[in-house]
Amino acid sequence: MKKNKSIYQKNSEWLMYVSLYLLVFTLPLTEAVKNLALILFLIIAFYSTYKKDITIKFDLINISILLMPVFIFIGSYFSIDPKNTLEGLDSIATMSILFIYVRELSWTEKQVKYLFLSMFSGFLITLGMGYYKYIMLHKTFLELNSVGHVNHSAIYMLFIFTISLSYFILSYRKLEKKYLLFIMLVNISAGISVFVTGSRATMYSLLGILVLFIIYSSLYLNKKILLSLGALFLIGGILLYFSMNSYTIYKFQEGIFYVSGREDIAIGFINSWLHHNKLFGIGLNNSSLIELTDYYANYSTERISHYSHAHNTFLTYLSERGIVGLGIYIIFIFSILVNLLKKFFLNPKNKFVVMGIFIWILNFIISFANTTFHHENAILMLIIWALAIGTTSNEKTKIH
């Protein structure tokens, strides 16, 4: 019996890894296969829990992320359109469960390599498709197929840039040269593409994260890494110079503080929360039902009066999920940060922890300009955070 159980455990864990590789490969590429990979991962995870091969932790991090879909469900009773809220609930629930189970996986360096190879390969293929549509088919913006909207695509590119750069500087001694060159290709492509999108929040955030990387490298890593980073940034800068277009330059020159009417949007969303249910908000996916012009008298512009979100993660959550939903989200992300910082001071060279902290910083900053914890971007963040927390807590993990 023990032998059969051991075989089952190996096969089920192997299937979880494979489905996770498929998930990160198809995350920006295609909706259907991505969803199938996610469903496969969760089915195996649930069955492993039933067989008592996986035991779920109930700490503050897991409890807070599980409470997100619970209170969205409760809040649907008070929402403008309960149907819209319930239709979006499955996405929040599956992301929460995915995070919890990825935490429990044990990892080897080989499995980590396959994970990032899948992630980066899927990104490059999707990016190639995006450039084909952008250049050859004259699409208005550079977008990633499954991610969609240009701002969300830019955020995904920035996350890939940060993940690949972290992996490069902290694993360069363990990886063969051809794989390092592949990671450099991913990093440069992601960095340049962020600027091609013209998304101001991501362009300025990328420059900020570069400064943080240089500071981190000078404090904790070998000086040769700084030279490698310098060469990488020089190559990227030269390529960026030749890829810059008038739209990118125009958006960059607008600066950080040019809000382009978003103060009106913010006022509308805050008032929609104040005039509806303060505890649970207007309901998930109900933002487009708000008539923003109802909430202030001097609406003198010709901008669209309906928006699917507030161009701010915190305001969107406040309006849609109320003070309860926003509070739970804040508890979750800050409990993540505290956990990551504790692990960082114990081992400042753990690649997952470094990735997790930089991704957390980007998520927090860009949240004031756009929705970040959203579909593909949220899944990508949650996988990195789960790896950062799980690989440093799971005794079965064989990563040094």
* pLDDT confidence band for 264 (50 / 70 / 90): confident
Q: How many domains does the chain have?
A: 2
Lowest mean pLDDT, pick from 19-28, 32-41, 166-175, 375-384: 166-175
Q: What is the pLDDT of residue 303?
A: 54
Q: Is residue 191 part of a domain?
A: no
Q: What is the pLDDT of residue 1?
A: 31
Q: Is residue 159 part of a domain?
A: no
* pLDDT confidence band for 4 (50 / 70 / 90): very low
Q: What is the pLDDT of residue 3?
A: 40
45 and 87 inside one domain: no
Task: Write the pLDDT tens digit of every residue in 100-137.
Answer: 999 998 888 889 999 999 999 999 999 999 999 999 99
Q: What is the pLDDT of residue 378?
A: 95
Q: Is residue 150 part of a domain?
A: no
94 and 24 inside one domain: no
Res 29 pLDDT > 70: yes
Res 63 pLDDT > 70: yes
Q: Which long-range contacts (CB under 8 A, 24 or more apart) does 297-303 make?
A: 299/264, 301/261, 301/264, 303/261, 303/264
Q: Is residue 158 part of a domain?
A: no
Give the structural domain span for 24. 1-55
Q: Is residue 123 part of a domain?
A: no
Average pLDDT on 244-264 reads: 64
Query: Cα(315)–Cα(266) distance, rounded to whole angstroms?
Result: 7
Query: Cα(230)–Cα(144) distance, rounded to whole angstroms?
Result: 28
CA atoms within 13 A on the CB side of 229: 23
Lowest mean pLDDT, pick from 106-110, 296-300, 319-323, 385-389: 296-300
Task: Write the pLDDT tens digit of every residue in 315-361.
Answer: 999 999 999 999 999 999 999 999 999 999 999 999 999 999 999 99
pLDDT over 90, % of the chain: 48
Residue position matching structure tokens 């920006």: 28
279 and 309 inside one domain: yes
Q: Which pTM was predicted?
A: 0.91
Count of C-beta atoms within a 10 Å radius of residue 213: 21
Task: Write the pLDDT tens digit of every residue in 201-220.
Answer: 898 899 889 888 888 888 88
Average model confidence (pLDDT) for the chain? 85
Res 255 pLDDT > 70: no
Residue position matching structure tokens 């240089």: 214
Q: What is the dihedral of CA 291, 296, 297, 303, to 10 degrees?
A: -50
322 and 275 inside one domain: yes
21 and 99 inside one domain: no
Residue 299 structure tokens: 């609406």
399 and 321 inside one domain: yes
Average pLDDT on 95-103 reads: 94
